[in-house]
Amino acid sequence: MAGHSKWANIQHRKGRQDKIRAKIFSKLSKEITIAAKMGDPDPDKNPRLRLAVKEAKGQSMPKDNIERAIKKATGGDAEDYEEIRYEGYGPNGVAVIVEAMTDNRNRTASTVRSTFTKNGGNLGETGSVGFMFERKGEIVYPADVGDADDVMMAAIEAGAEDVESSEDGHVIYCADTDLNEVSTALEADLGESESTKLVWKPTTTTELDLDGMQSLMRLVEALEDDDDVQRVTTNFEASDEVMAQLENA
């Protein structure tokens, strides 16, 4: 999946930093609140909450924000959110999975459908693209945590399935049900991760040129701008040359 980490960096550089940061914190707070509401408010006793808090810390979310999100769940004033997954196709046939948390299913479905249509995509039925992805745990470490061999050995010992190392860092994958255990073992060996979360990992990819990447970026950014949308995943593939062109466009 060449280019995914570079694309994330491009999005942040080209976007308004404060706006992006506020959006990320808002979505993380929602996940923390829902996780705490659905289980125990103690992260040590609630694996989903523990992962949500780890992801928030990885995004440099202030401790006060994290504690406030947990207290919101235990205070009884948290909204009742429903978790929904939407699937569809973006420009050039790229598969897109949209994960949302909403208190109004009709509103969210209408907005997501409209966003797909306005940006050259097409919202499909549940399962229309899901078969092109696997649910995995993903743990990300910076490049300077160690060389590829050292990280690979640590990952194997922790029970991970695969490691993708590059100049941008190390991405470690494991079974979705093992994420809490694997991330804890890696933390003891490599320290705090940059990111720890459940993801949809593409098993089939679609190659894009510069025009295709620009069209896809418009769709993804429009979807991510929706407060109900938690995460957007695609199965694009792009060469280093295309990513360099996108960065300088």
Tens digit of pLDDT at every position of the chain (249 positions): 445 556 666 655 555 566 677 888 999 999 999 899 888 889 889 888 998 998 898 888 999 999 999 998 887 666 788 899 999 999 999 999 999 999 999 999 999 999 999 999 999 998 999 999 999 999 999 999 999 999 999 999 999 999 999 888 999 999 999 999 999 999 999 998 988 899 999 999 999 999 999 999 999 999 999 999 999 999 999 998 998 888 887
Q: Do domains 4-74 and 84-121+205-248 have the same CATH topology?
A: no
DSSP for residue 134: E
CA distance 40 to 49: 8
Fold of the domain built from segment(s) 132-202: Alpha-Beta Plaits (3.30.70)
Assess contact for 26 and 227: CB atoms under 8 A: yes
Q: Superfamily assignment of 4-74 in CATH?
A: Integrase, N-terminal zinc-binding domain (1.10.10.200)
Using alpha carbons, select from 25, 37, 121 the residue that is nearest to residue 64: 25
For residue 231, CA distances in Å to 24, 101, 147, 183, 196 come to 10, 10, 30, 21, 14
For the entire predicted model, the pTM comes to 0.86
| 174-217 tens-digit pLDDT | 999 999 999 999 999 999 898 889 999 999 999 999 999 999 99
4's CB contacts (< 8 A; 6+ apart) are: 236
- Domain 84-121+205-248 listed as CATH 3.30.70.980: yes
CA distance 14 to 9: 9
Report domain extents, the chain.
Answer: 4-74, 84-121+205-248, 132-202
